[in-house]
């Protein structure tokens, strides 16, 4: 009986520790403004000397300017990370401006280290994410609407209208990462074998080569 209690206690201890360390660590001081010139390699960015920190370190300007959507996807993203905004360091957050031309698409992708909360500022977006059991949750979003994309799940945003769309996102990591599905599979370097892609997508190799040429 005593042994079973020890095993149960050990299991709960390990589980609790896993939950505690499953997200970015909390700051241990009021702030840790990033020192992007530091040669020290840490999980994050080394702190700037607090005596050299100014209010400018906690300010970023530029999200009022629309991105250039003159591209194949009709989409532009201005992701503001700790590299551009040192004051974000250790706070586990990133901000992003998203601009869509008419019929513009933020192609299916995932953020391996962050959930995302998106707010539509102007226009309408069709947004959605796919769960690990391939269920699609989607919605048409209008000005002022908010949608959350769970961490790690494939998601997208598409401008269904005939006018430009502006949106803002907040992501729950200072380095959320992005994996674009099509780019990763057809634009990998070195390239993924034609045999693998042909079988995975049930396409002939000529079609695979054509798709690959677009990336």
Nearest to 185 by CA among 171, 172, 158, 203: 203
Report d(CA 86, CA 50) in Å as an integer. 12
Is 24 annotated in a binding site? The answer is no
Cα 117–Cα 170–Cα 112 angle in degrees, nearest 5: 80
Is 155 annotated in a binding site? The answer is yes
Locate tokens 């974000």: which residue? 88
Report d(CA 197, CA 200) in Å as an integer. 5
Report d(CA 124, CA 49) in Å as an integer. 44
Is 109 annotated in a binding site? The answer is yes
Give Cβ neighbours of residue 128 (< 8 Å, ≥ 6 apart).
136, 137, 138, 139, 155, 156
Show binding-site residues for Mn(2+). Answer: 109, 111, 116, 155
Show binding-site residues for oxalate. Answer: 106, 111, 116
Show binding-site residues. Answer: 106, 109, 111, 116, 155
């Amino acid at each position: 009986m005593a042994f079973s209690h020890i095993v149960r206690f050990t299991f709960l201890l390990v589980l609790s520790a896993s939950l505690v360390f499953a997200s970015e660590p909390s700051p241990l001081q009021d702030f840790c403004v990033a020192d992007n010139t530091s040669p020290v390699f840490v999980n994050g960015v080394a702190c700037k000397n607090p005596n050299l920190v100014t209010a400018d370190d906690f300010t970023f300007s530029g999200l009022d300017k629309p991105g250039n959507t003159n591209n194949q996807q009709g989409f532009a993203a201005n992701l503001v990370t700790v590299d551009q905004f040192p004051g974000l360091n250790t706070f586990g957050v990133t901000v992003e401006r998203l601009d869509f031309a008419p019929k513009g698409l933020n192609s299916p992708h995932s953020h391996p280290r962050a959930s995302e909360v998106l707010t539509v500022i102007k226009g309408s977006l069709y947004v959605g994410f796919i769960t690990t059991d391939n269920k699609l949750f989607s919605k048409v979003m209008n000005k002022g609407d908010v949608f959350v994309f769970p961490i790690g799940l494939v998601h997208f945003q598409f401008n269904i209208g005939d006018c430009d769309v502006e949106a803002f996102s907040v992501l729950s990591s200072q380095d959320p990462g992005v994996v674009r599905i099509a780019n990763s599979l057809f634009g990998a370097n070195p390239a993924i074998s034609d045999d693998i892609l042909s079988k995975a997508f049930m396409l002939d190799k000529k079609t695979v080569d054509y798709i690959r040429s677009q990336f």
